[in-house]
Chains A and B, each alone.
Chain A
Amino acid sequence: MYYFDILRAGRALKTYTIVLGSILLVMLVTTPFSRVSHSNESVTINGQSVSGALRGFVLIHQMGQTIHIPFSVLCAIAAFAGILFATGCATSLSRFNKNLHFTFTKPVSRERSTLTTIGTDALTIVAAFAIGLVFALAPIAIVGLLDRLTFDLQSLAVLVLGLGIAYMWYGIVQAATSAMRGGSGIVLGLSWAVFVVMQGLQHLSGDFVPPVIVWIIHTFNTINPFIVMNQMFETIGVADSAVFGPPYVQQLAVAYLTALVGVAIAVTLRKRMAV
């Protein structure tokens, strides 16, 4: 199945690139005109007055000279897009379950076949992060503000935790769907709904509901990607000395351990599956 995993990963990354490219294109078309409409300032290049989108780009460039752009912000954007991509990959095992008569009658063990699919997904998610970063950098490069980028320690923290969140969500959905022959898309959709709702309930007070409910919500939310994502975004504003502090390390450990447990469950379920 390795060959099909490679083909599948290639197709997924192609679609992802097209989606991000489309968003970038829309942004490049609309943003300069939006900037133009907010300014009466005239712009000249080599003594000649320019208008339209070019004027907008120059205005943005001029505005950008007064600010610093933390690289960690771009990393967070890339990580968020990568996490969305990872959820799309998370039903890959289930989607192959219609083909088990084909897959499980090859000279490859079920464990190896499953881990090959998961391993390919893991690398594809890293590639999605990289592509996301390229697309986050692209508009800054286009308006000539790359020199305004400031590289910080938080960037690494955001990327590592972002990848952990992506793997965590991926692992949870794989564990829930790896043995399903259909309906995995519904489980994936439900995971979004459940995680959003549980995040909303995070601040529910014990004054209104029984403490045990609060405890259940808080316990569940330790593996809620949206809660861990908050930690990721908060990392951007943390001082360098506190970036890799205990809260960060704890969330990082939870993310990667949850991912590993999810993968282990998925492999076990596939090994025991009756076809």
Chain B
Amino acid sequence: MNAIAITNLTKRYGAQLAVDDLSLAVDAGSVCGLLGPNGAGKSTTFKCLLALDQPTSGTVAVDGAPVAPSTFEYLAYVPETSALLEKYSVGDHLEATRRTYASFDAARAAELAATFKLDSKKRIGKLSKGQRTAVALVLAFAIRPRVLVLDEPASGLDPIFQRAVLDLIIDAAAGGACVLFSSHQIGQVERAADSIAVLKGGKLVLRGEIDDLKGDEKIVEAIFPSDAPSPNGLASDPRVRRIERAGRILRLHVRSDAAGVAHELASFEPRTVDVLDLGLEDIFLGAVSDDAAYSSAKDRA
């Protein structure tokens, strides 16, 4: 059974279509990174998933049942912007959470608070953005949830704490939790997630396991002294899946024989030619970019 199952979710705000017929399932014990440019519908998807807003159509289920107050016994949510009560202290929030959840693990809360160097006496209003995020994360992980929904969970944190958050996510999934999280930091998603879902204009444009999406594809990147030329001949080459041109840079997404393609590209007299492994950033940009500078070649996949 999918821990999270979103089926044909559509959300409209008046004439604006925020989420368009989205179907997405995430299994227990896995981490799914929800990616998309600003305004792609990620936060709206989270709101509908958490019953903070009503879908226009479609259904949402957690552990096979519609979201109800009891769902939050085992589902923890960290919003993108702090929703903590500014006039109250970190300790007050911990105490309120302890009183609300039977599963609250005080020792783990203390350990996490120490990890993020949080002072329990400090009022939320006196904390930085990153520290507030850290408090929300401590509260979320201290109840040992089975489902975690995290909207930009490392937002505002320094690199050391970002790494700690990713470790928490990976550790939770290893313990059987289902994690759905969004981030603009592709590197974070690449490190923590097993799979990704990419939204663009409210639509799901890409979904899959990261390893599967990367496949054997390579990138041949050439940098020219002046604007990159149009690589005539290679555009119709079956080895080349996609061509991107941005100023002096020419990138070819190559299915096979990357070395051979690089050799042929050398005939255009670039300054450098490199064969690179395909990164998640390339996959993401390929999925969401409709900028002419980035996709002068049509995706023939």
Q: Give the B-binding residues of A (Cβ under 8 A).
A: 1-4, 7, 96, 98-110, 112, 274-275
Q: In the complex, which residues of chain A have a beta carbon less than 8 angstroms from the beta carbon of B298?
A: none
Could you tell me the distance in whole angstroms from the C-beta of A7 to the nearest C-beta in chain B? Answer: 6
Contact at B73–A4, with CB atoms within 8 Å? no
Tell me the smallest distance from the CB of B81 to a CB of chain A, in Å.
Answer: 8
Q: Mark B75-96, 1 if CB is under 8 A from A, else 0.
A: 1010101011100100010011
B300 interface residue (CB < 8 Å to A): no
> Is B263 engaged at the interface, CB distance under 8 Å to the other chain?
no
Asked whether B50 is an interface residue with its Cβ less than 8 Å from the other chain, the reply is yes
Contacts of B99 in A (CB 8 A): 2-3
A7 contacts B52, CB within 8 Å? no
Measured between beta carbons, the chain A residues less than 8 angstroms from B83 are 98-103
Judge whether B101 and A107 touch: CB under 8 Å. Answer: yes
Nearest chain A CB to B268's CB is how many angstroms away? 52
- Contacts of B47-94 to chain A: CB distance below 8 A: 47, 50-54, 69-73, 75, 77, 79, 81, 83-85, 88, 92
Q: Say yes or no for B100: interface residue by CB 8 A criterion.
A: yes
Given A2-B99, A3-B95, A99-B84: A108 in contact with B69 (beta carbons within 8 A): yes
CB-defined A-B contacts under 8 Å, sample of 28 = A1-B96, A2-B96, A3-B92, A3-B96, A3-B99, A4-B85, A4-B88, A99-B85, A100-B52, A101-B77, A101-B79, A101-B81, A102-B85, A104-B50, A104-B52, A105-B50, A105-B75, A106-B69, A107-B70, A107-B71, A107-B72, A107-B73, A108-B100, A274-B47, A274-B52, A274-B53, A274-B54, A275-B47
Most central of A3, A98, A108 by chain B CB within 10 Å: A3
User: In whole angstroms, what is the CA distance A100 to B96 when docked?
Assistant: 15
What chain B residues lie within 8 Å of A3 (beta carbons)? 92, 95-96, 99-100
- Which residues of chain B have C-beta atoms less than 8 A from A98's C-beta? 83
Q: How far is the CB of B182 from chain A (nearest CB, A)?
A: 14
Chain A residues whose C-beta falls within 8 Å of the C-beta of B52 in the assembled complex = 100-101, 104-105, 274-275
Min distance, Cβ A5 to any Cβ of chain B, angstroms: 10
In the complex, A274→B79 CA distance in Å?
A: 15
With a CB–CB cut-off of 8 A, which chain B residues contact A4?
85, 88, 92, 96
A136 to chain B, nearest CB (A): 30
Query: Chain B contacts of A2 at CB under 8 A?
Result: 96, 99
CB distance from B60 to the nearest CB of A (A): 14
Chain A nearest CB, measured from B140 CB (Å): 10
Known A100-B52, A275-B52, A275-B53; judge A109-B69 contact (CB<8 A). Answer: yes
CA distance A4 to B98 in the complex (A): 12
A-B residue pairs, 6 tightest by C-beta? A101-B83, A275-B52, A102-B83, A3-B96, A101-B79, A107-B72
Complex formed: what's the CA distance from A4 to B50 in Å?
Answer: 22
Bound together, the chains give a CA A4 to CA B101 distance in angstroms of 15
Q: Considering the chains assembled together, what is the distance between the CA atoms of A109 and B71 in angstroms?
A: 11
List, in ascending order, chain B residues with CB within 8 A of A112's CB: 69
- Give the chain A neighbours of B50 by CB distance below 8 A: 104-105
How far, in whole Å, are A2 and B81 apart by their CA atoms in the complex? 23
Within 8 A of A (CB), among B99-150: 99-101
Across-interface contacts of A105 in B (CB, < 8 A): 50, 52, 72, 75, 77
Q: How far is the CB of A109 from chain B (nearest CB, A)?
A: 5
Complex contacts, A101 vs chain B, CB 8 Å: 52, 77, 79, 81, 83
A105 to B79, CA, bound (A): 10
Q: What's the Cα separation between A102 and B93 when bound, in Å? A: 11
Question: Is there contact, CB below 8 Å, between B92 and A7?
Answer: yes
Q: How far is the CB of B104 from chain A (nearest CB, A)?
A: 12
Chain B proximity of A179: nearest CB distance (Å): 14
CA distance A2 to B83 in the complex (A): 16
B73 contacts across to A, CB distance below 8 A: 107
B residues near A107, Cβ cutoff 8 Å: 69-73, 100-101
Q: Which residues of A contact B96 (CB under 8 A)?
A: 1-4
| Interchain nearest-CB distance for B247 vs A (Å) | 41
- A101–B79 Cα distance when bound, in Å, is 7
How close is B59's CB to chain A, nearest CB, in angstroms? 18
- Chain B residues within 8 Å of A1, by CB: 96
Mark out the residues of chain B between 12 and 59 whose CB falls within 8 Å of any chain A CB in the assembled complex.
47, 50-54
